[in-house]
């Protein structure tokens, strides 16, 4: 992705959305899924389809909210903080809560969140995309860089993860 170019991230989000959408029927057919005993961030943590879907359903609106929060801050203000880390207790708590929802509900939430996100990204101006913020571990970056890492690449990774989980025997 080049600075100021929002077409590539939107196309990549749509491709990841289509991949998750295509996997949806297999996830629904596989219910009920066994819930993972450890969904934290340690080496023992494992995620199955319920955890992946619960995370994607919560992460899309979370990161869009972070984007909106930064854009609402005057450009003359000090650089705002942006995002969270994997250890965020609210993130883990939402995944723990929502992984027990039926897959069709999580898939619908993902679809609705991506609808809103793609629409909003299509409205961003190049100047807005260049706004800067500071992440706790990644440091200072433009919103376009954050969009690429925390939304686009992250969604692509979870689409692959879900595909890999569904290919595993049993």
Token output for 155: 């969604």
How many angstroms separate the CA atoms of 104 and 106, rounded?
6
Report pLDDT for 1: 37
Report pLDDT for 52: 98
Looking at the whole model, is its pTM more than 0.75? yes
Give the HSE-up count for residue 63: Cα atoms under 13 Å, Cβ half-sphere.
Answer: 27
* Model confidence pLDDT, tens digit, residues 18-31: 999 999 999 999 99
Residues of the chain with pLDDT under 50: 1-3
164 burial level (CB within 10 Å; 0-12, 13-18, 19+): exposed
For tokens 């929802």, name the residue: 101
Is the CB of residue 133 less than 8 Å from the CB of residue 71?
no
Q: For residue 23, report the phi and psi dihedrals to the nearest 5 degrees.
A: -80, -15
How many angstroms separate the CA atoms of 22 and 34, rounded?
21
Give the chain's domains with CATH numbers: 7-167 (1.20.120.450)
For tokens 């500071």, name the residue: 134
């Amino acid at each position: 992705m080049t600075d100021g170019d929002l077409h590539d991230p939107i196309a990549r989000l749509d491709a990841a959305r289509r991949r998750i959408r295509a996997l949806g029927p297999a996830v629904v057919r596989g219910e009920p899924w066994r819930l993972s005993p450890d969904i934290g961030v340690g080496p023992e943590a494992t995620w199955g389809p319920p955890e992946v879907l619960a995370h994607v359903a919560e992460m899309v609106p979370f990161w869009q909210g972070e984007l909106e929060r930064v854009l609402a801050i005057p450009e003359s203000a000090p650089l705002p903080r942006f995002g969270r880390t994997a250890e965020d207790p609210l993130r883990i708590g939402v995944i723990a809560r929502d992984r027990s929802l039926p897959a069709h509900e999580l898939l619908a939430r993902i679809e609705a969140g991506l609808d809103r996100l793609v629409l909003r990204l299509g409205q961003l101006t190049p100047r807005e995309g260049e706004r800067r913020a500071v992440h706790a571990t990644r440091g200072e970056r433009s919103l376009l860089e954050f969009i690429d890492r925390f939304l686009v690449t992250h969604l692509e990774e979870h689409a692959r993860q879900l595909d890999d989980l569904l290919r595993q025997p049993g």
